[in-house]
Each structure stands twice: as C-alpha cells, then as structure tokens.
Chain A
Amino acid sequence: MKFRFFLVIFAPLLLAVVTFVEWPISIQEATSKTFSTFEPNHNATGEIVDLTPQWNESEEHRSNEKKAVIGFDLSKIEQITYSLYIPKIAGHYKITLNDALLSSSAADERGRQRSASKLPKLITIPPGFLKHSNKLDIELNEIGSEIFGISGLYFGPKYRLEPLFNKALSTIGIGSLVAVITCSIMCVLSFMLWVTQRKTSSHNAHAKRYPIYFFAGLADLFLGIRVSNNIIHELDINPPAWEFLTDISQNLWMISIIFVTIFLARWRSKKLVVRATYAFAAISVISITVKHVSSVDFIHHIYWYTDFALLCFFTTYSAIYLIYGAQRRNNTLIIMGAILAINSLFGLRDYYLIDYLKDFKPYPLQQFSGILFEFALMYFVIIRFRTTNERLLSLNQDLEERLAKRENELIQAYEDAEEKSREQERTIERGKILKDMHDGVGSHISIAMQQLVSNTVAKEQILQTLRESLDHLKLSIDSLSIPSGDVTAMLANMRYRLQSRLSDSGIKLIWQVRQVGLLSSIDDHAMRQLQFVVYGALANVLQHAHCSQIKVELLAQDSGTLLRIEDNGRGFEVGDQLTASRGLHSMYERTSSIGGTLSVESSPGLTSVGIFLPSPVVA
C-alpha cells in the first residue's frame, strides 16, 4: 500500500521536477555572444562564460551538420588553466580554438567518425592557445539519423568548471553505469530462469518454458543497450549500426515489458492486446530501419509519427493495466501498472522535449525510469521464489504428515495382519483340537458308549476305552506345546502320559531316547500323525504283546531319523495284520502321509516297529 502511494503521489512530482526545473549553474552570461562573426570587444575574466551556440532551426532545417564560430575576448589572461565545459554533445564534433584543434570525436582507420558518448566533457585548453581575442570554431556532424547537437558550452577557469563537470558526470555517468550493470545482471538472470524453469516436471523434455522470463530478459537487454549509449566512448562497430541498435532498443524495450505484463496479468488470451503489441513491434522495426537507411524527410516524419503512436499505445496500455490491477486489488498488477505509467509519462516528456521541441539539453529520462521495471522484476522473482519455497516447505511438511499417516496405517495394517495371523493360528489350533477330539476322543467315547449299550463288553474294556480317550485328549493338548520337528519332546511326553499304564502292566521300559535336532520337514500336522503312530504302536504292545520289556530308541542317521519300538512279546503275523488290522493299516497310512516309512517285523519274542523319517535334522 505504501509503495503504491509512493508511486502515485511522488512519481508525477518527480516528473515535474526533472522537466521544468532548470539545473542551477553558476555562470556569468557573456555580455554578448556572436556566432558566425567575430567580436573583439568581449571581456571575460575568471568567471564562467556561457558560449552556447544558438542555432537557428530554420537555418539548419534537415541539415546534417552544424557550424558555429564564437568570438570572445579576454582582457587579461590569468596564469591558470582554462577549460571548456560541454554538458552534453552528440554527433561527430570538431572544436578548434584560434585555428588550433582543441578536441574532436575519434575516427576509425577508415576515417569514419566513431560514435561518441553523451557524457559531459571538460576540455582543457593548453597553455598558449588563448589570446586576448579568441575565435572558437565548432563543427557538428550528424551520426546516422540521431539528433545531434550541443547542450551547452562554457568557458572558464578549470577549477570553476571542474566541479560542474564532476557533478554532471556523476549524475549521468554513474547513473548510467548503475543502470547498465543492473540491466546486465537482470538480463542474465532472466534468461537463466527462462532456460532452467519449465512448467511441468523437468523430466519432460518437451515441457514449456516460461515466456515471461524470456521477454523480461529481452527488456533488460534492450534497456541496457539503450543506457549504455550514454557512456560508451568508443565503439569499434559501424556507428550507424550502433545508432540503429540503440534506436530500436528503445522501442523494443517498451514492447518487451508490455509482453511481460501481459503474462503477469494472464492476458495471453486477449488476442487484441497481443496482436496490437506484435503489430507495433513490427511497425517500430520497419520504421526505424527505414529511417536509418533513407534520407527522405517524409520517411523521417513517418518514423516520428510511428514512434509517437507507439508511445501513445504504451501510455494507454499502462493506464488500462493500472486500472485493471486496481479493480482486482492485485498488488503485482498495480505495481507493474504504476511502473508502466511512470515510464510512459517519462516517455511522453522525453518525446515532447527532445523530439518535438528539439531541445538537446535534457537527458532522456525514460531510459532511467526503466530501472524501476528491473527492480520490480527482481522483487517479483524473489517473491516468486519465496512463495515457491514456502509451497515446497508446505508440500514437504504435508508429505511428511502423509508419510507418517501412511506409516501408521501400515503399522496398523501390519498389526491387524498379525492379529489375523494369530487368529488364524488359533483357528487352526482349534481345528486341530476339534479334529483330534473327533478322531481320538470322540471316536473312543462313541466306542465306549457302544460297548456299554451292547452290554457284551467287560467293564475293564470299557474303562480301557475311556482311558485311551482321555490319553488322546491329553496328547492333543500336549501337542500344542511341542515344537514342530521335536520328536524327542513328543516321545518324552508320550512316555510321561503312558507311564502309569506301563507301570501298572509291570512292563519294563528301556528308554534309549536322546535329544536329536529338530526335523525340518515335520510340521504340526506331521507331528500329530507321528504321535498317533507311536501311540498306536505302544498301545498295541500294552494290549496285545504280553511282553515284559519295551525298548524305545531314537537314532539320528545320515539319511534321516529312525524311531524304533521293540518288545519281547508273543509277536503276530505281520502279513495278516496288514490286511486285517485297522490299527496297523492306519499306522502305515499315517507314516506314509508324512513322508516316512513304517517297517514291522514280528516273531515270537521280538516285535519291532520302525518308523524311518528321511528328514534332515536342523541343529
């Protein structure tokens, strides 16, 4: 808000100051000045004498050269250094004093006059040049079609003129230098941004660049060329070419910043504005080119009119832009609109004073007001990057939050999966227990009930059936605690459960079971099957063998593990049992289902049931 206030209130004031206030200069007006004639009666002492020639415009109408002969008298020549101070001179010049060359613009090896800067000049008059009556000859020649002339000519002691010279030089010279440096930096920066910044991911080679940076770079370039014309002393290029370049830079700079503001306001779809801008660009280029190659007056007049038309377009555009920005309360557009308006005002002022009134004295100010655009551009780039950085930080933070949320979700999902897995395990265990109950307990109880109902079975037999049922139940529950593959633990527990029956039967148990490693291929299901097989073998011995001794061995072999149950009972016919015994048939099936081999050998006095498990042992 404050910046807008500054622009709106202060800028016109600034314009009025630079236009209408004359720079103060301490001079003593010459009592008379003669041009083209020689007056011997002038008296000039240590004061500064204004010797500025006043060319009659009608005399030099469309003249490509200007000449002046200025006479001045010195009543007394002091023993001090005298100088000539020229605030601004444009064109090729040659200054002679009393027919002796004082100063001239440089010429190249072809004899062409080189372009000279517009900076102030302080020409020291060598001792011996001055006389009591002096004649100063000034010749000015046009360069290209640029306005040429001399803004002032002052004679006086060097010590008096030098401060004026330094002040003017610092104002214009340093100002121009700062402007050129700023434009150069911003030009490089803008083009670098144009090259590196793309509208989508940088992985997409066809992603579009930002044209705003391109036109900003062009604007910086053209303004830099324009301002550098003030300070370049000698340029080793064709002077007319340089003049053409500086001429066209002025207009193309205006066109470029119009395009920059079009992109800022997103007016690219407003075809009228865009096409008009392109049209003025084309007209400017053509008119300036024609002006520089033609010496016809009519052509030059067309140039002035097209130049004025461009200026009017620029001014109108600035006003519309400013109003548009104010209506939308968009600070960016308001600032740019104000800068455009200031530049257009300065442009109008320059056109009126320099082009219309042909006043050579004032410096064109639009070239300096253009720096405001550079500063604004710098400000917007900084703001843009700050916004981008903030957005990036915000995106990063958002990403971090989303990642954290996602991580929590994953953790939760993992925990849910774990819980489901545990639930599944519990379900599987329950299933196992139910199956065991069905296979073992359920069937035994059913058998017991059938036995009771049939009333043909002895009480001891029914009790035995019920005990076996309970044993099965206990073994099922124990199996939940026995790790898969730990056959030793299974056998040890089996012994513990059957110990009372073994003790009651008076059978001696020889226990040759030691800890072997876990059998890797024996999972929970296989363990249960093995348990059934071993229980079946031991139950058979307890019920049918009528033995006095049972030996249980567990041997780890290279190719697998061998579990052997031997008794010294009466034995049985293995062949018949294979086909007739449901229990033995079940043992064969269960052993086979777990990848093992059941071998049964029996003879009176020795029955051996061997279960071979070809399973590698895990240490």
Chain B
Amino acid sequence: MNMNCNVLIVEDDPLVRKFFANSIEFHPEMTLLNAFGTVGQATAYLKANGKLVDVLLTDLGLPDGSGLEVMRTALEINSQCEPLVISMFGDDASVIASIEAGALGYIHKDAAPDDISKAIIDMRNGESPISPLIARRVLQKFRASIPVRPLPQVESEQGAGAHVSSGAQKTSTDSVLSDREIQVLNLIAQGLSPQEVASDLYISMHTVQAHIKNIYRKLSVNSRTKAIFKASKMGLISTRTKIL
C-alpha cells in the first residue's frame, strides 16, 4: 500500500495544531494538506478539496462546533477518507462517540511526534487503537441494544489492512457481535495487549486488529442504523430515501 497520505488537521489550539502539523510534515510518508482551527474553515476546505484528504485529524471540541461534524462532512465528500480523533484523555465516552460518527481511531494530544505518525500509519495498516474501557463500553452497548448471535469465526490470516474474512462478512450482520469479537473485547477489557489476545485465542495479531476494526465499523453502522430508524419513526425521512 502506498503510505504516502494527505493529512488534514483541524485543531483549535494553535500550539497543538502546530505540533501536529510539524509531526506530519517531518514524516516522509505524509503530506500536510492544511491545518484549520474551526469547523467552518475545515468544512469549506473539504467541500473544495475533500477528495484529496486521505487522513483527517480532528479535535472534538472546536469553537464553532464539534469535530464530529467535520468527520461526517469529510466522509460524505470522500468515503475513503480515514478520520482520527485528537483526544486529550482518550476517555471512552468521547472515543465511542467519535467511532459512532465514523472515526477509525484516536490519537492522544500528548503523544510524541513519532507516536502521532505511527498511529496514522498503524491505522492505514488496518490497526485501530482500543483501550480496556472502550472495550467494556462497546460490549455494554451491543449487549444493551441487540442480542448476540454466534457467527462463523474468522480463521484465515489476511494481509495487513485486510478486513474480516469474506465468509464471516457474508453471514454476519452489522448489528451484532460475533463470538470471536466478544472474546477479543473481553480479553482487551482485562488489559491484555493485542499480541496477548492473539496468543490467547491462537490467532494472528492482524486478525485481532481486523476484528477491532470490524467492531468499530459495526459500532458506526449501528449508530447510523439507529439514527435512521429513529428519523424514520419520527417521519423525518422516508424509508425509500437513499442514504448516502
């Protein structure tokens, strides 16, 4: 995969924005497209140049809105864009809200420059960061909303960045967690690292990362599905409306 990616930064704190910008600029495989401090500026840029953005780094708390709006705009314009949330504390509530809005992961504001670029590269390689608390919150969310149904497990090892095997994808629905996914989440919730999870479950690390990414995707879909259902119930949208 071509690691050269275009990055857009949205961060209201100028010092942090500059820090992130410098971290990106100094990395040979990344190109900084631009850095903005408000939702308005970012949205305007995305509408003009959204197709160019590979990675979006956005803070959540912006002066004129939320980073989630920026993410949604970016994904509407360019579905291939990969958003990452800049989080001060990486607390589970903010992260899950971001993931439900479409983020693929998060970066700590206090991360070192190398860690910032590493996080972006890892995400491009199909890895998604997840903390034990986030794993617990995800488990709670899915248990509360929909019963879990066992599905065929992911067994084959794919290349970097691959998604869950097509066999599981064909039969699984986006509103339930598979047994394996639950196992992964439970082990992460107990503090195991992805390597330790892979070792425990006799699967590869890539598979573990793929499960995590899939879980995030289901979280996002689940959130969208609920929003559509709610809007439909309220008569705000017609069920025949094509959702982009």
Residues of A bordering B, CB below 8 Å: 467, 470, 473-474, 477-478, 481-482, 488-489, 491-496, 499-500, 511, 513-515
* Complex: A285 Cα to B193 Cα, angstroms: 114
Contact between chains at A499 and B115 (CB < 8 Å): no
| Stretch with Cβ within 8 A of A (4 or more), from B20-28, B90-98, B174-182, B206-214 | B90-98
Interface string of B168-200 (1 = CB under 8 A from A): 000000000000000000101111110010000
Distance in angstroms between the alpha carbons of A499 and B130 in the assembled complex: 13
Check A473 against B89 for contact (C-beta < 8 Å): yes
| Residues of chain B contacted by A511 (CB below 8 angstroms) | 191-193, 196
Number of interface residues of B (CB under 8 A): 20
Residues in A whose Cβ lies below 8 Å from that of B204: none
- State which of B90, B91, B115, B190 has its C-beta within 8 Å of the C-beta of A514: B190
CA distance A492 to B196 in the complex (A): 13
Query: Chain A residues with Cβ under 8 A from B191's Cβ?
Result: 488, 491-496, 511, 513
Give the CA-CA distance A481 to B93 in the complex, in Å. 9
* Residues in chain B near residue A488, CB distance under 8 A: 189-191
- Which of B38-46, B57-65, B131-139, B227-235 interfaces with chain A? B131-139
* B13: Cβ under 8 A from any A Cβ: no
**A478–B190 CB distance below 8 A:** no
- Majority DSSP secondary structure for residues of B touching A: helix
Asked if B110 lies at the interface with its beta carbon under 8 angstroms from chain A, I say yes
Contacts of B132 in A (CB 8 A): 489, 492-493, 495-496
User: How far, in angstroms, from A272 to B23 measured CA to CA in the complex?
Assistant: 114
Across the A-B interface, the 5 shortest Cβ-Cβ residue pairs: A492-B191, A492-B132, A495-B191, A496-B131, A477-B89
Complex A-B: 13 CB contacts under 8 Å:
A478-B133, A488-B189, A488-B190, A489-B132, A489-B136, A491-B191, A492-B132, A492-B133, A495-B191, A496-B131, A496-B132, A500-B115, A515-B190
Q: Considering the chains assembled together, what is the distance between the CA atoms of A513 and B187 in angstroms? A: 10
Chain B residues in 8 Å Cβ range of A499: 193
Chain A, Cβ-Cβ closest to B115: A500
Docked pose: A513 CA to B132 CA in angstroms:
13
Q: Smallest Cβ distance from A441 to chain B, in angstroms? A: 12
Give Cα A492 to B186, complex, Å: 11
For the complex, give the distance between the alpha carbons of A494 and B191 in Å: 8
Tell me how far the C-beta of B56 lies from the nearest C-beta in chain A, rounded to whole angstroms: 24
User: In the complex, A515→B187 CA distance in Å?
Assistant: 9
Q: Which residues of B in the span 120-160 have a Cβ within 8 Å of any Cβ on A?
A: 131-133, 136-137
Closest to B136 in A: A489
Structural contact, B189 and A489, CB atoms closer than 8 A: yes
The contact of B133 among A473, A481, A514, by CB within 8 Å, is A481
Residues of B within 8 A of A491 (CB): 191
Residues on B with C-beta less than 8 A from A482 are 133
